[in-house]
Amino acid sequence: MHPTTVSEAGDALSPAAKRTITGAFIGFLVDMYDVYLPVVALTPALIYFQPQHLAVSTATTIFYLVFAVALIGRPIGAFIFGHLGDRIGRRPTTMIAVGGFGIATLLIALLPGYAQLGIFALFLLIALRLVDGIFLGGEYTAASPLAMEYCPRAKRGLYSAIIQAGYPIAFVVISLFTAAMLILAPAKGLQSPYVQWGWRIPFVVGAVIAGLFLLYYRSVPESESWKRSEKVKNPIGKLFSAANRGTFFQVFIVMTGFWLTLYVVVSTIPALLTKQFSYSSTTVTNGLLLANVVLVGGYLLVGVIGQKIGRRTMLMVMGVLIAVVGSTAYATMVSTAGPGNVVQTMALATVAIVLTVSGWGLLTAYINERFATGMRASGFGIGYSLAVVLPSFYSFYLLGLAHFMPYKYTEVPLLVIGGLLILVGGALGPETNHVAIAEVDGGPLEAAPERVRSARPQVT
Measured in whole angstroms, the distance separating CA 366 from the mean position of its chain's CA atoms is 15
Which of these, 32, 134, 127, 68, lies nearest to 394 by C-alpha position? 68
Q: Which of the four pLDDT bands, split at 50, 70 and 90, describes residue 60? A: low
The DSSP code sequence of 13-49 is: PPHHHHHHHHHHHHHHHHHHHHHHIIIIISGGGGGGG
Give alpha helix (H) positions in 40-118.
56-87, 90-109, 114-117
Kindly report, residue by residue over 64-100, the tens digit of the pLDDT: 777 778 888 899 999 999 999 999 999 999 999 999 9
Separation between Cα atoms, residue 299 and residue 167, nearest integer Å: 10
Helix (H) or strand (E) holding 372: none
Q: Which of the four pLDDT bands, split at 50, 70 and 90, describes residue 112? A: very high
Alpha-carbon Rg of the chain, whole angstroms? 22
- Please report, rounded to a whole number, the percentage of residues in the chain having pLDDT higher than 70: 91
Rounded to 10 degrees, the C-alpha dihedral 416/418/420/424 comes to 180
Could you give the 3-state DSSP secondary structure of residue 54? coil
Q: Assess whether pLDDT exceeds 90 at residue 35.
A: no
Measured in whole angstroms, the distance separating CA 375 from the mean position of its chain's CA atoms is 21
What Å distances lie between residue 186 and 88, 180, 191, 301, CA to CA? 47, 10, 10, 39
Separation between Cα atoms, residue 238 and residue 245, nearest integer Å: 9
Measured in whole angstroms, the distance separating CA 295 from the mean position of its chain's CA atoms is 14
CB 178, CB 40: distance < 8 Å:
yes
Number of H helices, E strands in the chain: 21, 0
Comparing 54-68, 130-144, 147-161, 239-253, which segment has the lowest mean pLDDT?
54-68
Q: Which one is predicted more confidently, 297 or 2?
A: 297
The pLDDT score that the predictor gives to residue 45 is: 85
Q: What is the DSSP letter of 223?
A: P
Average pLDDT of the chain to the nearest whole number: 86
pTM: 0.86
Q: Assess whether pLDDT exceeds 90 at residue 241.
A: yes
The pLDDT score that the predictor gives to residue 396 is: 84
The pLDDT score that the predictor gives to residue 438 is: 63
Q: Assess whether pLDDT exceeds 50 at residue 270.
A: yes
Separation between Cα atoms, residue 253 and residue 27, nearest integer Å: 26
Q: Assess whether pLDDT exceeds 70 at residue 4.
A: no
